[in-house]
Amino acid sequence: MVHHHHHGASHERQHAVSVRERVRQSVGSLRYRNFRLLWTTTIFSSSARWVQQVSLGWLAFDLTDSAALLGVLLFVYQAPTFAMSPLIGVMVDRVDRRKLFIISQVTMAMVAALLAVDIATGTVEVWHLYIFALISGFESAIIHVVRQVIIPAVVPRDELLNAISLNSAANTVTRIAGPFLAGLLIVALGVEANFFIQAALLACVAVAAFPLQLRAPETDTDEQAAGVSIRDDIAVALRFIWGIGVLRLLFAVEFLMLFLASPFTSFLPVWAENVLSLDADGLGALYAAAGIGSLLGALLLAAAGNVRRKGVLMLIAGVALGLAFLGLGSSSLLIVSMVLLAVMGATDAIASAINLTLVQSRVPDGLQGRVMSIFNMGHALIATGALIMGVIVDAIGIQAMTLGLGAIVAVLAVFALAALPTLRRA
């Protein structure tokens, strides 16, 4: 970048302009009306999800006093995502995405309002919560894929990284503020109010999605005429992913990250109590640090523009994540924990957003739903990783496990940088 200094043009003014340019560049994809609408739905929909997460957990624990049942509830909420994911992908590729978006949100709003009435009239029973969790799991699986698929359809390719980063930032803001506000609201208004609020937020999602203008996904007309079976539909997507070397590697990186790095936040309560001897408010601070890190990572990436060497940046973020784990495992100071959790949040957010961008920019529109639903199945690995880590933590302690994780992640990332030119060049 060459700056020409005009005579008399003060350095400050130039600096102000470059800052303004930076800000304009970081929200670049919001220039597109359809992406603005979609981004607005992310804020509403993600707020609704976090209000529900806290309220449903609180209500279940309040009714049963059992942590095990809480685990079952979480499983019921996540099960449809994994079981039905490829089918949802097929559906997203076959139907009108805008209609699917609106109908799923209106339905979920009605279900949330029903539960609120159920609680308010005192007729709520534990099995109602399981049914609610199941329906809500479906809705969340559908909306997630639909939103992922619409992003590349409403922004040009060179703005895709920016759009994905901004979408991630919107999710993270609500992840930080949502649970905090939901907790306050339960105390102030009672838990039924939160489900009414959730219903209202979901209704706002439907309203914001209404004016979306989407092109129909291009599919082969003969494919539609032949009435391809669902199994063939999924097979096409699997062959597509497997047939492109760099996609195979990107999927492997994503699945490894989800398995190794993502489950760690589930163990923050253990970290807070055993390593830092903190109370619940201290635990809140740790979650907040991780969340603020994710937000900063997403915003940095949004501001960086359409970075050229995406593959290299993704792997460097991986190395940094491994080093942060190592640092965390070797210290028991609160401030160090908070800073390193923020670094972990940031590097994880950066690596995920780049990976998603590299994958989506290589997939044709008509295949996006299926490919993304397979990509999202990796989230089953978080639960699996958490189960395995739980056993390891009980055996060797959380600090030892954290050091081990850090070593594995750093070594894998360095190996990929050194030995996989396909990823470096991605």
Domain match, 244 and 332 both: yes
pLDDT reported for residue 217: 56
Q: Alpha carbon of 201 to those of 40, 110, 112, 198: distances in Å? A: 11, 11, 10, 5
Same domain for 276 and 131 = no
Tell me which of 211, 240, 271 is where a domain ends: 211
Distance CA 367, CA 149 (A): 9
In a domain, 21, yes or no: no
361 φ, ψ (degrees, to nearest 5): -75, -10
Answer whether residue 201 is part of any domain: yes
**pLDDT for the residue numbered 12:** 54
310 and 339 belong to one structural domain = yes
176 and 294 share one domain? no
> By residue range, what is the domain housing residue 387?
228-426
Per-residue pLDDT, 23: 67
What is residue 2's predicted lDDT score, i.e. its pLDDT?
45
**Angle CA(347)–CA(351)–CA(353) in degrees, nearest 5?**
115
User: Is residue 249 domain-shared with residue 347, that is, in the same domain?
Assistant: yes
CA 255 to CA 376: how far, in whole Å?
9
44 and 119 inside one domain? yes
d(CA 301, CA 25): 11
* Cβ atoms of residues 298 and 27 within 8 Å: no
Evaluate whether residue 68 is within a structural domain. Answer: yes
For position 286, what pLDDT does the model report? 87
Q: Are residues 186 and 333 in the same domain?
A: no
pLDDT attached to residue 222: 42
Torsion angle of the four alpha carbons 312, 378, 329, 407, in this order, in degrees rounded to the nearest 10: -50
The span from the CA of 161 to the CA of 423, in Å, is 17
Q: What is the pTM of this model?
A: 0.83
Q: What is the CATH number of the domain that holds 147?
A: 1.20.1250.20
Question: Domain end: 151, 181, 211, which one?
Answer: 211
Q: Which amino acid is at 160?
A: L
Please report whether residue 124 resides in a domain.
Answer: yes
**Does residue 153 sit in the same domain as residue 43?**
yes
Q: Do 266 and 383 meet the contact criterion of CB atoms below 8 Å apart? A: no
- Do 116 and 172 have their domain in common? yes
Give residue 66's pLDDT. Answer: 74
Q: Would residue 223 count as lying in a domain?
A: no
Among 183, 211, 239, give the residue marking a domain's end: 211
Number of domains into which the chain is organized: 2
- How wide is the angle at C-alpha 299 spanned by C-alphas 295 and 300, nearest 5°? 115
pLDDT at residue number 136: 92
Give whole-number Cα distances, 342 to 177, 226, 276, 293, 338, in Å.
Answer: 16, 51, 17, 4, 6
Residues 235, 269, single domain; the answer is yes
Mark whether 200 and 238 lie in a shared domain. no
Per-residue pLDDT of the chain (426 residues; tens, 9 = 90+): 545 544 555 555 566 666 666 666 677 788 888 999 999 999 999 999 888 888 888 888 888 877 777 777 878 887 777 788 889 999 998 888 889 999 999 999 999 999 999 999 989 888 999 999 999 988 988 998 999 999 998 998 889 999 999 999 999 998 888 878 888 888 888 888 999 999 999 999 999 988 888 766 555 544 454 467 888 888 999 999 999 989 999 999 999 999 999 888 888 888 888 888 877 777 878 888 999 999 999 999 998 888 889 999 999 999 999 999 999 999 889 999 999 999 999 999 999 999 999 999 999 988 999 999 999 888 888 878 888 888 888 889 889 999 999 999 999 999 999 999 988 888
Q: What is the pLDDT of residue 221?
A: 44
The residue behind tokens 């302690």 is 397
In-domain check, residue 253 = yes
| Residues 233, 206 share a domain | no
On whether residue 303 sits in a domain, the answer given is yes
| HEC profile of the chain | CCCCCCCCCCHHHHHHHHHHHHHHHHCHHHHCHHHHHHHHHHHHHHHHHHHHHHHHHHHHHHHHCCHHHHHHHHHHHHHHHHHHHHHHHHHHHHCCHHHHHHHHHHHHHHHHHHHHHHHHCCCCCHHHHHHHHHHHHHHHHHHHHHHHHHHHHHCCHHHHHHHHHHHHHHHHHHHHHHHHHHHHHHHHHCHHHHHHHHHHHHHHHHHHHCCCCCCCCCCCHHHHHCCCCHHHHHHHHHHHHHHCHHHHHHHHHHHHHHHHCHHHHHHHHHHHHHHCCCCHHHHHHHHHHHHHHHHHHHHHHHHHCCCCCHHHHHHHHHHHHHHHHHHHHCCCCHHHHHHHHHHHHHHHHHHHHHHHHHHHCCCCHHHHHHHHHHHHHHHHHHHHHHHHHHHHHHHHCHHHHHHHHHHHHHHHHHHHHHHCHHHHHC
Q: What is the pLDDT of residue 14?
A: 60
Residue 421 falls within a domain, yes or no?
yes
